[in-house]
Amino acid sequence: MLDPLKIWVGGIDKNSWTYTIIKLLQKYPNTYADISAYNYGKDKLNDFSNNLKKVIELDYKEKFKEGKFKLSDKLLWGSDVPMVLSDECYEGHYKNYFSKFEKVVNSANISDLDKKELLENIVANNPKNFLNLK
């Protein structure tokens, strides 16, 4: 049940760190958020998946209207997690880790074209913009 004392915007608690980061990303041109460092474990995957999916859908439905920038242009995928794997197992683990993220994007209620564009932005275009490699 939703806490009646909290203000909810599109299902996101207005007092949460998620909402604060969304507002920063929308307001400032040189802010980006890396979304790869999440716990994809069985007990945490649903929470993360649902939150990310909700943010993606709200962004594409333009429900966050206060800022100038779309979140899909401000999110980055990093390969730094986990940081303690040997070279031999990194590739397999990375593919597994990324496939879970990809499933979250593909489960979002947006068009297939938007899903493709979002993945391309997060893994290629946005990092290039962040690093000024346009």
pLDDT score recorded for residue 64:
66
pLDDT score recorded for residue 119:
93
Give the count of domains, the chain. 1
Residue 126 confidence (pLDDT) above 80:
yes
pLDDT score recorded for residue 120:
95
**Is there a domain that residue 83 lies in?**
yes
100: how many CB neighbours lie within 10 A of its CB? 13
b or e along 65-86 (b: 16 or more beta carbons within 10 Å of the residue's beta carbon)?
Answer: eeeeebbbbbbbbeeebeeeee
pLDDT score recorded for residue 1:
47
- pLDDT tens for each residue of 59-99: 888 766 667 888 889 999 876 655 666 667 666 777 777 88
Range(s) of the domain holding residue 85? 8-130
**Is there a domain that residue 3 lies in?**
no
**Is there a domain that residue 1 lies in?**
no
**Is there a domain that residue 2 lies in?**
no
**Is there a domain that residue 102 lies in?**
yes
- pLDDT tens for each residue of 3-46: 544 445 556 677 777 788 888 998 999 999 888 666 555 665 56
**Is there a domain that residue 65 lies in?**
yes
Q: Are 101 and 37 in contact (CB under 8 A)?
A: no
